[in-house]
Amino acid sequence: MEATVFAGVHCVFIFACVRLWAIESRRRAAEMYALDRAKRLGFQADSTAEIDQLGILAASLAEKDRLIDASLINQRLTRSISPSDVAFRACVNGFVITGLLGTLYNLWHLGPDFWKALLQPSYGVSHAPINVAFAASIFGLGWALAFGLVDSFVMQPRREHFVKEAMGFVLSTATAYLPQSVGPMLSQSVRELKEAAISLFEQGTQAQTQLTQNLVEGAFGHSDVSRSRCWYRRNTWSSVPLYLAQRSANM
């Protein structure tokens, strides 16, 4: 009876692991189909595939002069392909835990009579519980090792190969949406700054020339006024003796 219970638990874990592998293979096939379609037709905005969503996100970030993080691509694609990876690890650990529980339960089920019989040889004691105890541990460890090896050497390399290919395609496509490089942008900025400086210099030169011209005209105008005043004073003082002589003659 005890052997049937623990064997049934192992069967449940086996079915769960195979089921999770089937789901991962189906999701990976869907993402690979979306990747092939994106290579031919571009990323589809109305698609539910993770590769299309990442491609659109990478393009929108590239238009803002930002590149999408490679670790984000890796994380989202891995989660999309194998969303139940934690459940698979739990099933693998469940094999080990079930085997240990089966061993401990059957050793406890033997009771104190069995341990006394070990010290006193007796041929009438049944060894079935202890056989079940060690069988549960052996099968639990064996199934855990088998599923762990298949996942590490078969499923995980396929997953990593797809993620690497998809990541390279997304990043290479996003670079096409980047604005012009820093060098041409800097050259254009320097050229515009130079033109603005030349324009300001020309405006300043014209203003300085106009100011100098105004000062010169003002100086010449002041000189003309001074000469007029001097001529008026000289003529006035020269006419004073003539005026006095005429006045004396009239007297």
- Per-residue model confidence as pLDDT tens digits over 45-99: 888 899 999 999 988 888 887 888 888 889 999 999 998 889 999 999 999 888 8
In terms of phi and psi (left: phi > 0; alpha: psi -120 to 50; beta: otherwise), the region of 136 is alpha
What is the value of pTM for the model shown?
A: 0.64
**Residue 189, CB-side half-sphere exposure with 13 Å CA sphere:** 7
105 in Cβ contact with 194 (< 8 Å): no
pLDDT of the residue at 16: 95
Cβ contact 147:33 at 8 Å: no
- Given a cut of 50, is residue 31 above it in pLDDT? yes
Q: How many helices (H) and strands (E) does the chain have?
A: 7, 0
% of the chain residues with pLDDT over 90: 32
